[in-house]
């Protein structure tokens, strides 16, 4: 006859585990001797080893009882069901790990892969991280507004990056406008150069019929414009120059009627 410590030692579990199995009904409690100690026999050892084997194999304790009481065929079916459940859980955890790995990369939070790929290309062109963050946050807003169209928008943005003017614009914005250089003069030649480049791009887009085809909500447009203005001390100056030349807006570009041009 065995004490609870000896029983636990035979099965390779802790005394605490034995007591837990008693509590949930997996292992029947034995009678106590005249001193009040539990006394276990061979049947308890076999039962405990079976419980431990199943639990150690990943069988939930809630399912152990039914397997121990099952016949051979039912036992096999039960094990297969549990295996199926475990494989489904493994797939879920693997997908979770993949999502976490993407989140750890930084840009993947709330962004589709096409936008992340575009941001990576900007980094490859030498655009500074400070500007990448601004661009990333803007695309989070856009992607949430037009999820079905975002991949097509990104494909067009990749085409735009084949234009040297667009690459130069990004580098200027990265190096200067997004740098927070508030002490530089407002008529800085690079501010004018940015306006020149944007105007050339707008003229090309207008000729190609690509202006005025966006479908974003007015509030999102206003929010994106405000974010751009807040991002740089010179952004308003660029918009002012463009408006003097007949263009208004940033996210949604519009032609300014000739009689309204300052």
Q: What pLDDT shows up at residue 168? A: 92
**Residue pLDDT, tens place only, 225-250:** 887 777 777 788 888 889 888 888 88
Evaluate if residue 182 carries a pLDDT over 50: no
pLDDT of residue 93: 86
Strand partners, 32: 38
C-alpha 156 chain-centroid distance: 24
Q: What is the mean pLDDT of residues 206-232?
A: 76
pTM equals: 0.54
CA angle 193, 194, 199 (to 5 degrees): 95
With 70 as the cut, is the pLDDT of residue 137 above it? yes
Return the DSSP state at 250.
S
Arithmetic mean of pLDDT over the chain: 83
pLDDT of 262? 53
pLDDT grade for 99, boundaries at 50, 70 and 90: low
pLDDT tens per residue across span 12-70 = 899 999 999 999 999 988 888 888 888 888 999 999 999 999 888 888 888 888 898 88
Nearest to 67 by CA among 88, 81, 86: 81
pLDDT per residue as tens digits for the range 144-171? 888 899 999 999 999 999 999 999 998 8
By mean pLDDT, which of 78-82, 171-175, 246-250 is the weakest? 171-175
C-alpha 259/C-alpha 262 separation (Å) is 8
Q: What is the pLDDT of residue 105?
A: 58
Q: What domains can you pick out in the chain, each with its CATH number? A: 4-103 (1.10.1660.10), 106-260 (no CATH)
Q: What is the pLDDT of residue 13?
A: 92
pLDDT value of position 200: 92
Supply the pLDDT for residue 186. 52
The beta strand positions in the chain, using DSSP E, are 247-248, 254-255
- Has residue 260 got a pLDDT over 60? no
Phi-psi region of 214 (alpha: psi -120 to 50; beta: other; left: phi over 0): beta
Q: What is the Cβ-side half-sphere exposure of residue 51, based on CA atoms within 13 angstroms?
A: 27
């Amino acid at each position: 006859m065995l004490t609870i410590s000896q029983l636990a030692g035979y099965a390779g579990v802790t005394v605490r585990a034995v007591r837990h199995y008693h509590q949930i009904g997996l292992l029947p409690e034995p009678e106590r001797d005249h001193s009040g100690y539990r006394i276990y026999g061979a049947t308890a050892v076999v039962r405990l080893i079976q419980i431990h084997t199943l639990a150690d194999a990943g069988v939930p304790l809630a399912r152990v009882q039914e397997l121990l009481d099952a016949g051979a065929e039912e036992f096999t079916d039960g094990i297969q069901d549990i295996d199926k459940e475990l494989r489904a859980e493994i797939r879920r955890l693997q997908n979770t790990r993949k999502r976490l790995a993407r989140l750890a990369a930084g840009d993947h939070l709330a962004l589709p892969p096409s936008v992340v790929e575009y941001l990576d290309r900007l980094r490859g062109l030498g655009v500074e991280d400070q500007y990448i963050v601004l661009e990333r946050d803007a695309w989070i807003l856009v992607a949430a507004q037009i999820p079905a169209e975002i991949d097509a928008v990104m494909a067009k943005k990749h085409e735009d990056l084949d234009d040297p003017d667009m690459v130069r614009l990004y580098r200027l914005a990265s190096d200067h406008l997004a740098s927070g250089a508030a002490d530089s003069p407002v008529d800085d030649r690079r501010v004018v150069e940015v306006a020149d480049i944007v105007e050339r791009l707008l003229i090309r887009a207008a000729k190609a019929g690509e202006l005025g085809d966006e479908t974003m909500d007015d509030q999102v447009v206003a929010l994106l414009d405000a974010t751009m203005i807040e991002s740089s001390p010179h952004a308003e100056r660029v918009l002012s120059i463009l408006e003097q030349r007949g263009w208004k807006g940033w996210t949604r570009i519009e032609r300014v009627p000739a009689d309204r041009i300052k």
